[in-house]
């Protein structure tokens, strides 16, 4: 790797170089990789919980004799909590800083998971799951924006995508844990409690590390005007990647919440980020949380263990490769362009399942086409709807914007959890898949209002005070700095 002091010296010698210039051009380091793991824990928990709640809810429904609506509340209350948590903690992080919220949401996830595991009643379980969702929702904007603001411009999409790709591990661990517990013979009551309680472990494992991470350097330098402190903290934790500011920077004018909600440009960005996330999460969460019921309709004789194996196969064969390819290629393909690709194939796959009866009448063709949709879900909007809001908003409202986008996305997931089972009853499996296909088409359309942020600086894409960014779509000429970083 190119020695960092050489690059620092080169940039310091340039006219007008600043601490943020150094950060934008700094190559990847051990600090970035460590941050990916620490930030990614929330998304491991999210994915683990996303999968195991379907199995846990099926066991609870039998044990407590729940109605269909009550079962939907068990599966959907965490998503409703995530909707509120993303809004609330996203805004708080722009006011008091990212780091404090970073720790608080981890504590909330631990408490919610443990409370779920000891739930004595339906109401308790729903409320505990809601608390868990508050933490998961709050983790979305803080983890995404911290990673984005730590990153250089060339690798930002890859690094933020790596944080989100921790979901892939959760999607695999969830069904594996469920299979082990179901086959152990310990009983359904103990099984669902262990499934939900184990969700506390990953957050507990990194809470100390989160407390030791530095505050976002861009937040300190550009919002609070503390450039010297930002450089000092980041240098201490990044092994000298950025050693000191080269020029004092004054704080940006903060954009208030009222101004944010009445600013035309901010509303357009919300339409693109929150709109596409809502439409995507409706189809993704609605179909995923209802996957056991969907697979039962494809093959009514399949046992719960068989359906778990099929689901695990979809995740391993299709979802994980999609995550990996998105991480490897998104900064070259373009973040907005990758979202176009994913929505397009999702729409074709869902509409094919809806139109061709043979595809939903037999297990193998259904799993093949449904699995293809999962590949392009990950190699597309499941990754990019998380990355784009961390880039396109100004620094003083970046977690606010991401939190609103994530919260509205979770609202789409909540709608999907309740609506998909109803649609399955009234219009059948093919009908609900047709609705999912239409959602993907609409997601493609609202993506058109967003700028392409790949390989551009955050200051160029989102501006600092909300009035200085350009909507130019062209990727800038990377010049000799990119070539030098490639050789590192």
| pLDDT one-digit tens code per residue, 190-225 | 999 999 999 898 888 888 888 888 888 889 888 888
What are the CA-CA distances from residue 400 to residues 88, 173, 212, 256, 446 (Å)? 8, 31, 23, 10, 20
Domain 22-213+252-465 belongs to what architecture?
Answer: Up-down Bundle (1.20)
Whole-number Å distance between alpha carbons of 230 and 239: 14
**CA 209, CA 41: separation in Å to the nearest integer?**
11
Listed by start position, the domains of the chain span: 22-213+252-465
pLDDT digits 0-9 by tens, 431-481: 888 888 999 999 999 999 999 999 999 988 877 665 544 433 333 333 333
pLDDT value of residue 203: 84
Q: What is the pLDDT of residue 239?
A: 57
Measure the CA–CA gap between 48 and 68, rounded to whole angstroms: 23
Of 389, 402, 432, 129, nearest in space to 282 by CA = 432
Give 183-216 as a DSSP string. HTTS-HHHHHHHHHHTTHHHHHHHHHHHHHSPPP
Residue (of 341, 402, 398) closest to 373 by Cα position:
341
pLDDT < 70 regions, the chain: 1-19, 50, 234, 236-253, 286-294, 464-488
**Residue 214's pLDDT is what?**
85
CA-to-CA distance for 474 and 452, rounded, in angstroms? Answer: 7
Q: What's 426-472 look like in SS3?
A: HCHHHHHHHHHHHHHHHHHHHHCCCCCCCCCCHHHHCCCCCCCCCCC
């Amino acid at each position: 790797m190119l020695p960092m002091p050489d690059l620092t010296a080169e940039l310091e010698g340039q006219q007008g170089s600043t601490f943020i210039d150094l950060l934008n051009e700094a190559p990847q380091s051990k600090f970035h990789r460590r941050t990916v793991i620490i930030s990614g824990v929330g998304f491991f928990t999210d994915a683990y919980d996303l999968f195991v709640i379907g199995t846990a809810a099926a066991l609870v429904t039998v044990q407590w004799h729940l109605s269909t609506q009550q079962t939907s509340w068990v599966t959907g209350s965490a998503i409703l909590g995530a909707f509120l948590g993303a809004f609330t903690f996203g805004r708080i992080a722009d006011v008091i800083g990212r780091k404090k919220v970073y720790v608080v949401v981890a504590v909330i996830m631990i408490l919610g998971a443990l409370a779920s595991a000891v739930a004595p009643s339906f109401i308790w379980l729903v409320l505990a799951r809601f608390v868990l969702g508050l933490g998961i929702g709050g983790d979305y904007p803080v983890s995404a924006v911290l990673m984005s603001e730590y990153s250089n411009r060339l690798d930002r999409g890859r690094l933020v995508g790596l944080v989100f790709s921790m979901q892939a591990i959760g999607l695999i661990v969830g069904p594996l844990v469920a299979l082990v517990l179901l086959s152990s013979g310990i009983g359904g009551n103990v099984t669902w409690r262990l499934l939900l309680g184990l969700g506390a472990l990953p957050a507990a494992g990194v809470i100390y590390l989160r407390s030791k991470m530095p505050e976002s350097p861009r937040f300190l330098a550009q919002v609070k005007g503390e450039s010297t402190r930002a450089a000092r903290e980041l240098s201490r934790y990044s092994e000298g990647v950025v050693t000191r500011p080269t020029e004092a920077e004054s704080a940006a004018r903060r954009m208030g919440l009222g101004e944010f909600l009445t600013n035309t440009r901010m509303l357009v960005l919300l339409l693109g980020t929150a709109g596409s996330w809502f439409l995507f999460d409706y189809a993704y969460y609605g179909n995923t949380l209802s996957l056991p019921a969907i697979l039962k309709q494809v093959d009514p004789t399949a046992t719960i263990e068989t359906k778990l194996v099929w689901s695990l196969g979809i995740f391993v064969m299709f979802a994980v490769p999609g995550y990996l390819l998105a991480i490897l290629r998104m900064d070259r393909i373009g973040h907005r362009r990758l979202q176009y690709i994913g929505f397009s194939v999702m729409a074709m796959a869902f509409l094919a399942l809806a139109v061709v009866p043979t595809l939903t009448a037999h297990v193998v063709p259904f799993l093949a086409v449904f699995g293809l949709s999962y590949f392009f879900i990950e190699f597309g909007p499941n990754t990019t709807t998380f990355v784009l809001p961390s880039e396109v908003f100004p620094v003083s409202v970046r977690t606010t914007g991401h939190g609103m986008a994530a919260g509205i996305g979770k609202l789409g997931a909540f709608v999907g959890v309740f609506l998909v089972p109803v649609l399955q009853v009234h219009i059948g499996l093919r009908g609900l898949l047709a609705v999912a296909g239409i959602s993907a088409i609409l997601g493609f359309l609202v993506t058109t209002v967003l700028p392409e942020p790949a390989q551009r600086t955050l200051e160029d894409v989102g501006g600092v005070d909300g009035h200085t960014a350009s909507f130019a779509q062209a990727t800038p000429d990377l010049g000799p700095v990119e070539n030098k970083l490639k050789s590192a």
